[in-house]
A and B are shown apart, each in its own frame.
Chain A
Amino acid sequence: MSKNIKVNVEYLTRVEGHGNIVVNVKNGKLEECRLDIVESPRFFEGMLRGRSIFEAQHITSRICGICACGHTLASVQAGEDALGVLPSEQTIKLRKFLLHMENMDSHLLHIYLLVAPDLLGVKSFVPLIETHNTVVRRALRMKKVCNDVCDILVGRHVHPISCIVGGFTKLPREKDLDRMLNFLTGLRPDMEATLELAKTLKFPQFNRETEYVGLVNDNGEYPMLSGDLGSTDGLKMSKKDYRKLTNEFVVSHSSAKHTKASRDSYAVGALARFNLNHGKLHPKAKEVAKVLGMKPTVTNPYLNTVAQLIECVHSLEDSIEILQEFKGKGLDYSQEIVVGLNERGTIPVKAGIGIGAVEVPRGILFHEYEIDKQGKIVNANCVIPTGQNCNNIEQDMKALVPQILEKSQEEITLLMEMLVRAYDPCISCSAHFLNVKFVGR
């Protein structure tokens, strides 16, 4: 075959942040295949130096508007780890609930507004307002439920207010629990309709074996907020050793720092979690997986979107159970904390290093802070899910292109865009902490 193909997607759309896809095939041979990150650096690690550990969550939440709650939770966990603070059972449960809302919100946004237009053959959800009005309305309604619940729980979804080191500055009252329960039980019919829609969607067929990485544990819980690090290749280690897992490295042809564990690349995110921990999903989510034909190990990256839907069901049902439990036994309001902990000396401050490892919508997120004896940040490091997926996306692209060479340039471009989008990349996150080169500028 002597085909020449040049794909150059500048500013990939319907993803968070700025990325370019470059594919170059000469005489039927793949010469170049890259995902470039062209986001403006924001220097978060640098800016954190000298700030109080109690401000870290407020600042790092601003890395990303979509995963603000995820960054908040990873940051708070790292801060508490550094200070030697153990959160109460109630606090942990509320944080798990918050993480469910974050995952559901982000997954729904991705499934409906970012992925569905490709599967329905349009450029965005806007034309769907005419052709699929009930679907668009349902999507916006479901997303709003997650937002409304976050408003009640932490003040707002984009940059949560009340979730800080030590616990919550405001706890939901009895009537708040009722309102949140109403919102979530009311979401069930829409979730079922989403499932019906998912059954009709056709995803591209492409399989490539890779290593799937995420949190693992020895109990029956689907691990999101805490656990050890594990992989489908059998890796298992404490979160303290996260650098041994990520092994970040720079490659000359790529714009972002890459990671690898046991083989060339690894994947994180909903599909990785599903492949690792499917047996621990809520029974209703397991049922959905069965109906949608998802049986681990799933090696088609396009099906990350389906794994996200399965997780939505899990998050919804587990959240309802958490709320019902709180309704039954009530909350301990004496645990409501007063902000300004460092000023008031409520939590003793000591020098130390702390690590947070949390499963956020796009995969496992690490925050690490080193603080001095006054609680001031000396060093900060974050490893972002999208950064970890970059290498795996490129490996997928390299495997996929030779399989689809006979297709038109347009079709190839769309399949590549859909592949990158399937990972739901959050490029502004990845660029804030990774090593980025501006290629071709």
Chain B
Amino acid sequence: MRKPKVAFFDFACCEGCQLQVANFGEALLDILGLIDVVMFREAMSEKSDEYDIAIVEGSITTPHDVERIKKIRATAKVLIAYGSCATIGGINGMKNNFDLEDIRKYVYKNDAKYFETIPTHPLHQIVKVDYFVHGCPVYQPEFVKVLKAALAGLPYNVPDYSVCVECRFNENVCMYDKGITCLGPVTRAGCNSWCINNGNICYGCRGMLSNPAKDGQMDILKKHNIPLEWVTNKMNMYNKPRELDIDEQKHKG
């Protein structure tokens, strides 16, 4: 059987999720035994316009990006959105907290005109996405699961329960019990509560649950005397572009 051709692409991002591939160590060679990587600019000079699976990191932030991702979609049989920037907009989405003209001028002053920019979009707001690998950075064991599913042509369902489920299994003391705001209760699991295991809070990098049990969350905030604003402020670090999802639904409805 012919090995499927895989190409890596990046848009606005830090390329850290692609680096997670190089971080597999010698296990990378096992993965490379199953696929034929035809393009990976960060690590390879080989180039190809023919590929079966496109693994795309980064957000769509310029008109040029929109055209480029459409071309990639038209070529690839399978498109995997890889990492928070691609799946939910991620850190790039913080730009959407500001007036675009204002932020362009703040950073680039008189040269602002050279920097065409549009609000930050995750890939699925522009093209159809077949698989999502959430996380900033991606959690390697989950990436392997998704890749296996993609190679086998099977669906992969992202966990739609909260980070708290995994956090409890890891026997962490709840951040709310320490008086600290944490986005674990409203964020999709699948990272094995990576940040909380290491003494930090959940910043919501995997995106919001489809049903975040709003009343329950409000009770938690009330119980711990935490203003809602603290939570929304943190949420806007990774999840601001989801507002554009909601806008689109309104248009469709």
Contact = CB atoms under 8 A, between A and B. Distances in A.
A59 B237 contact: yes
Interface stretch (A233-241, A268-276, A335-343, A357-365): A335-343
A51 B179 CA distance: 20
A213 to B, nearest CB: 25
A113 B43 CA distance: 7
B16 A59 contact: no
B106 A46 contact: yes
Nearest to B226: A343
Contacts of A161: 194-195, 198-200
A126 B32 contact: yes
Given A68-B14, A436-B115, A162 B23 contact: no
Given A16-B42, A435-B108, A154 B198 contact: yes
A114 B19 CA distance: 13
A45 B106 contact: yes
Given A162-B199, A338-B180, A109 B41 contact: no
Interface string B59-81: 00110110000000000000000
Contacts of B40: 124
B95 A40 contact: no
B111 A437 contact: yes
Interface residues of B, number: 65
Given A40-B12, A338-B178, A435 B200 contact: no
Given A46-B106, A125-B43, A343-B179, A41 B25 contact: no
Contacts of B200: 155, 161-162, 164, 169, 339
Contact of B137 (A65, A109, A154): A65
Given A65-B16, A162-B198, A343-B180, A40 B11 contact: yes
Contacts of A126: 32, 37, 44, 46
A169 B198 contact: yes
Interface in B73-103: 90-92, 94-95, 97-98, 102-103
Contact of B20 (A15, A63, A158): A158
A438 B98 CA distance: 23
A94 to B, nearest CB: 14
Nearest to B108: A435
B199 A336 contact: yes
A40 B107 CA distance: 13
A340 B41 contact: no
Contacts of A59: 91, 94, 237
A349 to B, nearest CB: 16
A230 interface: no
Given A59-B94, A123-B45, A340-B201, A437 B107 contact: no
A43 B26 contact: no
A85 interface: no
B237 A123 contact: no
Contacts of B125: none
B28 interface: yes
Given A43-B103, A156-B194, A428-B14, A169 B32 contact: no
Given A161-B195, A343-B230, A13 B44 contact: yes
A278 interface: no
Contact of B180 (A40, A123, A340, A441): A340
A113 B46 CA distance: 14
A43 B104 contact: yes
A294 to B, nearest CB: 27
Which of B136, B181, B199 is the most central at the interface, judged by chain A CB atoms within 10 Å of its CB? B199
Which of B18, B19, B201 is the most central at the interface, judged by chain A CB atoms within 10 Å of its CB? B19
Interface stretch (A139-147, A188-196, A398-406): A139-147
B186 to A, nearest CB: 17
B22 interface: yes
A439 to B, nearest CB: 10
Which of A43, A124, A336 is the most central at the interface, judged by chain B CB atoms within 10 Å of its CB? A43
Interface in B94-152: 94-95, 97-98, 102-104, 106-108, 111, 114-115, 117, 136-137
Contacts of B230: 343
B17 interface: yes
A253 to B, nearest CB: 15
A309 interface: no
A66 B94 contact: no
A410 to B, nearest CB: 13
A119 interface: no
B11 A159 contact: no
Nearest to A336: B199
Contacts of B14: 62-65, 68, 428
9 contacts: A11-B41, A17-B15, A58-B237, A144-B25, A147-B23, A155-B194, A159-B16, A340-B181, A437-B114
Given A62-B16, A68-B16, A129-B29, 14 more contacts: A40-B65, A47-B98, A64-B16, A65-B15, A65-B19, A114-B43, A137-B29, A144-B25, A147-B25, A155-B200, A158-B20, A159-B16, A339-B201, A428-B14
Interface of A: 11, 13-17, 40-43, 45-47, 49-51, 55, 58-59, 62-66, 68, 109, 113-114, 117, 123-126, 129, 136-137, 140-141, 143-144, 147, 154-159, 161-162, 164, 168-170, 250, 336, 338-340, 343-344, 428, 435-438, 441
Top 7 nearest A-B pairs by Cβ distance?
Answer: A65-B16, A169-B199, A144-B25, A155-B198, A124-B44, A340-B180, A46-B103
Interface of B: 11-20, 22-26, 28-29, 32, 37, 40-47, 61-62, 64-65, 90-92, 94-95, 97-98, 102-104, 106-108, 111, 114-115, 117, 136-137, 175, 178-181, 194-195, 197-201, 203, 230, 237
